[in-house]
Amino acid sequence: MKIKVINPNTTQSMTRLIERSLFTYAVEIDLQVVSPSMGPASIESHYDEALSVPGLLAEIKSGLDWGADAFVVACFGDPGIEAAREISPVPVIGIAEGAFHVASLLGGKFSIVTTLARTIGRAEYLLHETGLGARCAGAHACDIAVLDLEKPESNALETIIEASRAALAADESHAVVLGCAGMAEYVDEVSAAIGAPVVDGVSAALLLAKTLVSLGLRPAKKGEQDFPPAKRYTGLLKDFAV
Amino acid sequence: MKIKVINPNTTQSMTRLIERSLFTYAVEIDLQVVSPSMGPASIESHYDEALSVPGLLAEIKSGLDWGADAFVVACFGDPGIEAAREISPVPVIGIAEGAFHVASLLGGKFSIVTTLARTIGRAEYLLHETGLGARCAGAHACDIAVLDLEKPESNALETIIEASRAALAADESHAVVLGCAGMAEYVDEVSAAIGAPVVDGVSAALLLAKTLVSLGLRPAKKGEQDFPPAKRYTGLLKDFAV
Amino acid sequence: MKIKVINPNTTQSMTRLIERSLFTYAVEIDLQVVSPSMGPASIESHYDEALSVPGLLAEIKSGLDWGADAFVVACFGDPGIEAAREISPVPVIGIAEGAFHVASLLGGKFSIVTTLARTIGRAEYLLHETGLGARCAGAHACDIAVLDLEKPESNALETIIEASRAALAADESHAVVLGCAGMAEYVDEVSAAIGAPVVDGVSAALLLAKTLVSLGLRPAKKGEQDFPPAKRYTGLLKDFAV
Amino acid sequence: MKIKVINPNTTQSMTRLIERSLFTYAVEIDLQVVSPSMGPASIESHYDEALSVPGLLAEIKSGLDWGADAFVVACFGDPGIEAAREISPVPVIGIAEGAFHVASLLGGKFSIVTTLARTIGRAEYLLHETGLGARCAGAHACDIAVLDLEKPESNALETIIEASRAALAADESHAVVLGCAGMAEYVDEVSAAIGAPVVDGVSAALLLAKTLVSLGLRPAKKGEQDFPPAKRYTGLLKDFAV
Amino acid sequence: MKIKVINPNTTQSMTRLIERSLFTYAVEIDLQVVSPSMGPASIESHYDEALSVPGLLAEIKSGLDWGADAFVVACFGDPGIEAAREISPVPVIGIAEGAFHVASLLGGKFSIVTTLARTIGRAEYLLHETGLGARCAGAHACDIAVLDLEKPESNALETIIEASRAALAADESHAVVLGCAGMAEYVDEVSAAIGAPVVDGVSAALLLAKTLVSLGLRPAKKGEQDFPPAKRYTGLLKDFAV
Amino acid sequence: MKIKVINPNTTQSMTRLIERSLFTYAVEIDLQVVSPSMGPASIESHYDEALSVPGLLAEIKSGLDWGADAFVVACFGDPGIEAAREISPVPVIGIAEGAFHVASLLGGKFSIVTTLARTIGRAEYLLHETGLGARCAGAHACDIAVLDLEKPESNALETIIEASRAALAADESHAVVLGCAGMAEYVDEVSAAIGAPVVDGVSAALLLAKTLVSLGLRPAKKGEQDFPPAKRYTGLLKDFAV
């Protein structure tokens, strides 16, 4: 089966990191991992998130041409997920959504450890939308900007481990959800260090997407999930007309 | 005071209709009513909504240069409202939000009468976000596309009156909220016909924005509402870098 | 337009303070600010609140004779608001309700700073009733009795500033709502001191009432909001028969 | 033990009906059943309800002088219950509250059958306040005014039976709660006719009050439930000063 | 009337303690207090709880043969309450449920003081099921195993008093609910020590059961509460066939 | 990896049906599908459900001896799931839970089509526990007893198709969840007939369990999910001592 993973920011090094982190999980999967050709270098505000969506939607369209059986949106804010679902006849799963579902299936409660505090509001919205808010015992920021995760001087791994350990204790939770695709490569090390399950949304969403494809399930195209009505688009975005 | 009303779709005739509907309410207000230079001709899906946001954000920026004291986003889906709030130091009010607050202040419950059924999901999300969902007794579609509202052959006024009357009866509600900026010109006729208060979000949001400005209130720029962090933008959207 | 503001306690000095605080906002408004002829000197318990309602209702009635276009109930417990709405064909807005709506329109979350801790339960009830509870990040008491707000020895202004600053920090909130009509005169000083928006319910409710009148909106008199059925009243309250 | 049942309306025939309905349940109880000396002849609106509270509070005070161990407020709107609790060191139970608790203890869901449709809003508020809203499957009006319940020409018993049977079927519920103290005398006949448990709040609240007294439980007088602060009262209500 | 109280664990000394604690409340009641013949010595996990249910159900059946008018399930997890209600035509009340209802009737909020922290999840579930979660201000563990409550070296009474005092202060609550049938004998001493009402679920549930019987109320046997369909049972549990 | 699927009723023909339905999904899985040696022939009441748990727990224990990497509980009531999780160090997934998660990942809302109406209450409880209740638009019964599903004279397939079609229309939902493990073999035919995605919980839970194992995730054994404390068990259940 073909699954396309879209990192909706434009930073290629992060896209490659995501691709490497999926290597062991891509069994029986023809995998594409890409960034859009337009938009923000990282997504750390509602402004960035809104402006990542045109590029994401373009990648969904080209993915459909490729014959994708499912998509993963690899940013923890699940940007544009509803618009992506409208134009796609195959499943689209966001990594926040994917992480919340997988962490919930473990039983007990989970804590989120994310990058900047200002992104927690979006995570809370997604917890509400998925219905899994009651399973989240707390959301905590590391105060590391997304693109600093890759920089050695940010001490990202240690900081995430420390924040995860503190979250487990403060929240009396049973698992940690990593709140950024850029943390995917740390999942095993953090889990080993804190002695608790750690969920990375990228691999979680990939295997959930594979599950839906294996089960032969595609979303019904009706009502709010139907293809968008055709119409004229103008100016810079004129090519987005459907 | 200066208030800028942004119709986030690109259909100028609808923008002029909105402007006319505000004529009697623009007391003591230096009013600008505009459409963006890019994006969809109407907003009837999550896809349209997502792609209306870049144009909307560009208008917020030019509005700040003009010296706007407040903004109104004149589409009932309140698209991009959170991103707009991040980049604006002055109040930004969506017309769904504005209509819900005004209708709630009347006491009792309200019904929404909107264009296409597929937009009701977004209205329900906004009801949740504003907290005013318990005041809404039902949302009903007229099955008229946004741009058909202006066409005589759509019989829009009669259809809206009929749907409003049916909604009041079925929902045992006390007021009707019109679910599209393009219905603004009908508010008085619908109210007279059904004998119940009818709330148009455009005028409601304008006077609420005026209220905030009169009270000297501007949103605190901190946390999730702070200005977005600066970063590189790429491709078609490269000029959106902040 | 004519708007009557009713301070439901019987302390005239507080009524005058409220009137003064509205001076700059009463543009285009024929304003009446009064206290009832019966009831408690201040409202600090459910007992006081219940016993303020007969006097409030008498003032609504005389206000209708005067030709009021809207009413404001200027006590943060919004006492008798539902009974007042039944007998009034024009809008009645409580100042807690008004403050919650205005603070919500600013985006983000607000904190309440009020007089005595025992009144917080009523504020929580009103947050629930308005639906805006999720926008309130916390409610905090100054431990100053209502009538002591005017006494220099209470150090009310400093205490409110300190409590507001502490609330903003503890709640990570974006605005402060003043939880007593007797604090109305302090709104500008508190805002300047804490560097954040401060909402006074009295001015907020007045301008919201003006908004409803400007929009030509009056509540539907049906169902739970209809005029009360006529009947015999007995004893001390015999003149309340409708 | 001494229990005082207060019918907060001033109609003595209804008070005597309530007293008769409690005859078989008043085992080991020194029972007083009274009406206040002021207020409305029946309670069918928020206006009536608000104006029944001063008379109710006067009866609480005289009941404490008598040595009451507990109070029952015998109107299905539970008027003034919070104010009554403040001035009473012994339990005060409303009949809506009492009925909801007893019906919930039976398991399954209950339907409410009440007098006028406009009182259902208050019942919904009390369901929320008690927390027992999820146990209520529906509330239905008989469209009989309170004082008409006693009039043979209202066919009250048959109407209540019919409404109860319809409610059980429509709501798929397990029990009926009678929504007015004036229906107390019908409880056995309705239950026999519909073949399902029927809960009358007056007897339910009396036995719950007895339970609290038997267990030696009295409410803690602190915080929101503490005695109200002393202050001056004015005009018609000057004798209510505490 | 005949009421059977079932301690669903198999520790006879605890059953006798429960029986003694009910001595003063068993007025007009023919009381049976028993343990099942199979199952766990104490109930401190979901595993224990699940395995206490077969023995409990056997006791319900023999209680019906005896002619019981009502049952009390005397474990704070209310194990098997829904299955017990299916096979019983008379009321079945759990002691957590009973305690929550009685504590709620006192007004204000209550704190739970229980044995082991791992049982708090079950208490939260029961708070949700009863609808009374909003009345609970907090749940706190004493870290004493159930069977250690009776051992002098556990210092159970002092520990419970200390935990109760701390809970009242931390939660700003008005009453304490004891979270284990094995604490029933301490209720008066804890209340005297902390100066606040303390609710023991065993006596609360007994008097609530008596209330239902006095009111002549039996659950409707329909829908989810109907007798279970007959079928074959196999192996160790073959005698449970109905 | 080794996954054990436990049908908690004792009807072998149904267990074999479940096994056959999993044939195509058991890629890379060493699969065991069993029934317990004790308990009810089918699970259609809280009574049956409670009495299926001892047998289920015995199968979990023997499955751990076999080296299971995960368990699936193949009854739509997810009986004993919390007790099973306590004694298992590896994931345990119920089929209702699994179906709800998979259906939610498709976007939109789902309808449940189940056997007997009396089981809907349990489904609603599980919807609440998983947090996915808002995604369910309705639950509908076929009025076919579990063991009749296999009997040709029940016309099960046609009845399920008809109920599914009706549910999609009435609920305006996007997918159907089959509410019984005994319906697993019909999933493809129902989907083809109604032209919408149909989720069978057995295959859904199996692939979710595989996902957790692939991700290397095991539940944290702490707090409410820790192994149960050791203690004495008595009588028929004495061998359940841990």
Give the tens place of pLDDT for each residue, A52-88: 999 999 999 999 999 999 999 999 999 999 999 999 9
- Distance (Å, rounded) from C-alpha F48 to C-alpha F8? 10
Three-class HEC string of A8-48: CCCCHHHHHHHHHHCHHHCCCCEEEEECCCCEECCCCCHHH
Which of F108, F135, F216 lies closest to A219 in CB terms? F108
> Looking at CA atoms only, how far is residue E202 from chain F in angstroms?
23
Return the pLDDT at C242.
Answer: 86
Q: What is the pLDDT of residues B111-150, one digit of tens each?
A: 999 999 999 999 999 999 999 999 999 999 999 999 999 8
- How far apart CA D74 and CA D95 sit, in angstroms, is 6
Please tell me if the domain spanning D2-95+203-226 has the same topology as the one spanning D96-201.
yes
CA distance F49 to chain E (A): 8
Q: Which residues of D113-145 are buried (b: 16+ CB within 10 A; e: fewer)?
A: bbbbebbbbbbebbbbbbbbeebbbbbbbbebb
The answer to whether the Cβ–Cβ distance between C208 and B134 falls below 8 Å is: no
Is C146 in a helix, a strand, or coil? Answer: helix
Provide mean pLDDT across the span C46-54. Answer: 98
C-D C-beta contacts closer than 8 Å: 159
**Which of B196, B197, B223 faces C172 most closely, judged by CB atoms?**
B223
**Structure tokens given for B141:** 């579609």
Q: What is the pLDDT of residue D242?
A: 86
User: Looking at residue A242, what is its pLDDT?
Assistant: 86
Contacts of C85 in chain B (CB under 8 A): 107
Average pLDDT over residues A115-124: 96
How confident is the model at residue B139, as a pLDDT? 98
Return the CATH number of the domain spanning residue range D2-95+203-226: 3.40.50.12500
User: Which 3-state string (H, E, C) describes chain B?
Assistant: CEEEEECCCCCHHHHHHHHHHCHHHCCCCEEEEECCCCEECCCCCHHHHHHHHHHHHHHHHHHHHHCCCEEEECCCCCCCHHHHHHHCCCCEEEHHHHHHHHHHHCCCCEEEEECCHHHHHHHHHHHHHHCCHHHEEEEEECCCCHHHCCCHHHCHHHHHHHHHHHHHHHHCCCEEEECCHHHHHHHHHHHHHHCCCEEEHHHHHHHHHHHHHHCCCCCCCCHHHCCCCCCCEEHHHHHHCC
Angstroms from A130 CA to nearest CA on chain F: 7
Beta strands in E149-214 (DSSP E): 175-178, 198-200
pLDDT above 90: residue F165: yes
Using alpha carbons only, how large is chain F's radius of gyration in Å?
A: 17
Give CA–CA dist C187/C172, Å, rounded: 20
Asked if E214 and D133 come within 8 Å (Cβ–Cβ), the reply is: no
Cα–Cα distance measured from residue B218 to residue B221, given in angstroms and rounded to the nearest whole number? 9
Q: Which fold has domain F2-94+203-223?
A: Rossmann fold (3.40.50)
Question: D36: number of CA atoms within 13 Å, CB side?
Answer: 30
Instruction: List per-residue pLDDT tens for chain D, 242 residues long.
Output: 999 999 999 999 999 999 999 999 998 999 999 999 999 999 999 999 999 999 999 999 999 999 999 999 999 999 999 999 999 999 999 999 999 999 999 999 999 999 999 999 999 999 999 999 999 999 999 999 999 998 999 999 999 999 999 999 999 999 999 999 999 999 999 999 999 999 999 999 999 999 999 999 999 999 999 999 999 999 999 999 98
Q: Do E25 and D214 touch (CB under 8 A)?
A: yes
CATH architecture of the domain with residue range A2-94+203-240: 3-Layer(aba) Sandwich (3.40)
E91 touches chain D (CB under 8 A): yes
Compute the distance between CA of residue A125 and CA of residue A117 in angstroms, rounded to an integer. Answer: 14
What are the extents of the domains in chain A?
Answer: 2-94+203-240, 96-200
Taking CB atoms and an 8 Å limit, are A229 and B45 in contact across chains? Answer: yes
Residue of C34, C42, C43, C45 to mutate when probing chain D, most D C-beta within 10 A:
C45
**Does residue A222 sit at the B interface (CB-CB below 8 Å)?**
no
E177 lies within 8 A of chain D by CB: no
Q: Touching check for B120 and chain A: CB below 8 Å?
A: yes
Planar angle of CA F22, F27, F31, nearest 5 degrees: 55
Is residue F55 within 8 angstroms of chain E, CB to CB? yes
Q: Identify which of A49, A71, A76, A69 has the alpha carbon closest to the alpha carbon of residue A60.
A: A71
Both structure tokens of C130: 């308005």
* C107 secondary structure, DSSP code: S
Q: Is the Cβ–Cβ distance between B234 and B240 less than 8 Å?
A: no
pLDDT, one tens digit per residue, over E131-176 is 999 999 999 999 999 999 989 999 999 999 999 999 999 999 999 9
d(CA A214, CA C185): 67
The Cα F225–Cα F220 span in angstroms is 7
Burial of D1 (0-12, 13-18, 19+ CB in 10 A): middle
Nearest by Cα to D12 from D51, D41, D32: D41
**Per-residue model confidence as pLDDT tens digits over D145-192:** 999 998 999 999 999 999 999 999 999 999 999 999 999 999 999 999
- F39: helix, coil or strand? strand
Assigned CATH class of C96-200: alpha beta
Rounded mean pLDDT of chain A?
Answer: 97
Cα separation, F97 vs F104, in Å, equals 11
Q: What is the pLDDT of residue F242?
A: 86
Contact F47 E87 (CB under 8 A): yes
Rounded-to-integer distance, Cα A126 and Cα A114, Å: 14
C-alpha closest to that of F91 among E141, A199, E66, D240: A199
**Which chain C residues have a beta carbon less than 8 Å from that of B220?**
106, 108, 174-175, 196-197
Dist. CA B114–CA B199, nearest whole Å: 12
Q: Which positions in chain B touch A237 (Cβ < 8 Å)?
A: 38-40, 51, 54-55, 236
Subunit partners of chain A (3 or more CB pairs within 8 A): B, F
The answer to whether the Cβ–Cβ distance between D237 and C80 falls below 8 Å is: no
How close D135 comes to chain E (CA, Å)?
8
| Domain D96-201 CATH class label | alpha beta
Chain F 182-221, residues with CB within 8 Å of chain A CB atoms: 188, 191, 196-197, 199, 203-204, 207-208, 210-212, 214-220
Q: A86: which chain B residues are within 8 Å (Cβ-Cβ)?
A: 45-47
What are the tens digits of pLDDT across the range C179-209?
A: 999 999 999 999 999 999 999 999 999 999 9
**Using the beta-carbon criterion (under 8 Å), do A104 and F108 form an inter-chain contact?**
no
Task: Give the separation between CA E66 and CA E58, rounded to whole angstroms.
Answer: 13
Residues of chain B above pLDDT 90, percent: 98
The stretch F110-139 carries a mean pLDDT of: 96
CA distances to D130, D198, E124, F121, F152 from E129, rounded to whole Å, are 13, 22, 9, 12, 39
CA–centroid distance for B108 within its chain: 22
C80 → closest Cβ in D50, D55, D117: D50
Chain D residue with Cα closest to C235: D38
Top-tier CATH class for C2-95+203-240: alpha beta
pTM of the complete model: 0.97
**Domain covering E2-94+203-227 in this structure, CATH number:** 3.40.50.12500
Q: What is the pLDDT of residues B63-113, one digit of tens each?
A: 999 999 999 999 999 999 999 999 999 999 999 999 999 999 999 999 999
| Residues F108 and A225: beta-carbon distance below 8 Å | yes
Percent of chain A's residues with pLDDT above 70 = 100
